[in-house]
Amino acid sequence: MEKSALPDSFEEARITKGYGKMNDQDDPVTMVLGLKDVRKCAHNWKTFQSGAAPGRIVVPSEVNIRDTRQIPFEVDPPEHKDFRSLVEPWFKRPLEERYMASLTEQINALVDEVLTLDKVEVVEEFSLKLQSRALTLLLNIPYEESELWISWGTHVFRSEGNDLDGDKAKILYDYIDGKICMAMQNPGDDLYSMLLAATVDGKKLTREEIKGIIILTFSGGRDTVINAVTNSIAYFAEHPESLKRLAEEPEITGKAVEELIRYFSPLTHMGRVATEDTQVCEHAVKADTRISLCWASANRDAKVFESPNEVVLDRKLNPHVAFGFSHHNCLGATHARQIMNILLKTLADKVQSIDIIDYKENIEDLDQFKRKVGYDSINVTFNKK
């Protein structure tokens, strides 16, 4: 097995039954594994809702560590649409020239920096920095703010050995409360101020709603982006030919981004709560119990993807669901795609090869399934062109 490989842990269950089972804090989950079924359930928001108790659709459940509803992702239609339309243009800003130029500058500087070092721990010294710095652009706030976020570590709700660390989440909440207060006193052109000035359906947003949007902005794209970036470095370390190909054929970069994201599927799954007795894959699902839409499994479905366990850099047809599917598809996807796009171009441009020194895998414990989602740490050397 290659060091950079992410095996498909769901294959057997997907082929034989189409679903899997996992217990999570005594609130069991039926995991939907095939691409077609995942899409069908994602679409059916009346039967499979997102607007359950805050934190319940996340697996592992966060009901015990937060009360704030994250918006728009824990809201169902029709309210969902109002919130989504409000924030959508803001989250498309990564397509603007100026945004792209700043992101390119950040990524260039970081790659230049790691090229001068003998040894780099990619998660902490590369991916976390990259993600945190890029987030200042998404919020439209000064770059220096990223120093504090970097000091928080890779996951805002998790700490070493504790999947659900309430104290750690409180640091983020208090910080966001403080920032909302500051923006109320001193409005600027940042996301906080935009939300404070906005109306939905003729009404101002409540403070709790603003908080819910900001928390999602911080947490939704944190470990996911960090894993996508770290996994890319591991992949290129073992596939220098792919790096070379990207340098020679930059026009395939967009396809390569989609393919890596399909293969990595940084968010394994997202839950829904059944509003009525129903079934998935001929398996009974009771009202008020949870299912999960397993993006990671769906993205390896051989009924849809040829050679699903291979990275085919210029894969032609790639209807992956790594950014979710239907109305709840990932709000941060434009930002994430730009990060990956610029990262790939910069690496292809500046890096000759990458040597892996040692690594520790990050294995998600999904009860009967164990899934490698990335690395807790990985030491490498970046070699200049």
**How many Cα atoms are found within 13 Å in the side-chain-facing hemisphere of 82?**
13
| 131 part of the interface to ligand EMZ, by CB under 6 A | no
State the nearest-atom distance from the C-beta of 229 to ligand EMZ, in Å: 15
The smaller minimum CB distance to ligand EMZ, of residues 157 and 359, is found at: 157
Binding residue (CB under 6 A) for ligand EMZ from 153, 220, 240, 254 = 220
> What is the C-alpha separation between 36 and 38, in angstroms, rounded?
5
- What the block records as the tokens of 370 is 């164990």
> What is the C-alpha separation between 290 and 308, in angstroms, rounded?
27
Beta-strand ranges (E) seen in the chain are 19-22, 29-32, 48-49, 120-121, 199-200, 203-204, 270-274, 278-280, 283-285, 290-293, 351-366, 369-384
Site string for ligand EMZ, 227-266 (x = CB under 6 A): ----------------------------------------
Name which of 254, 232, 265 is nearest 373 in CA terms: 265
Window 265-294: residues binding ligand EMZ (CB under 6 A): 267
The smaller minimum CB distance to ligand EMZ, of residues 101 and 363, is found at: 363
Q: Which stretch binds ligand EMZ (CB under 6 A): 13-21, 28-36, 215-223, 313-321?
A: 215-223
- Beta pairing, strands 278-280 & 283-285: antiparallel
For the chain, state the CA radius of gyration. 20
- What the block records as the tokens of 82 is 């109002």
| 70 part of the interface to ligand EMZ, by CB under 6 A | yes
Site string for ligand EMZ, 140-179 (x = CB under 6 A): -----------------x----------------------
State the nearest-atom distance from the C-beta of 331 to ligand EMZ, in Å: 8
State the number of binding residues for ligand EMZ (CB under 6 A).
10
Footprint of ligand EMZ (CB under 6 A): 58, 62, 70, 73, 157, 216, 219-220, 223, 267
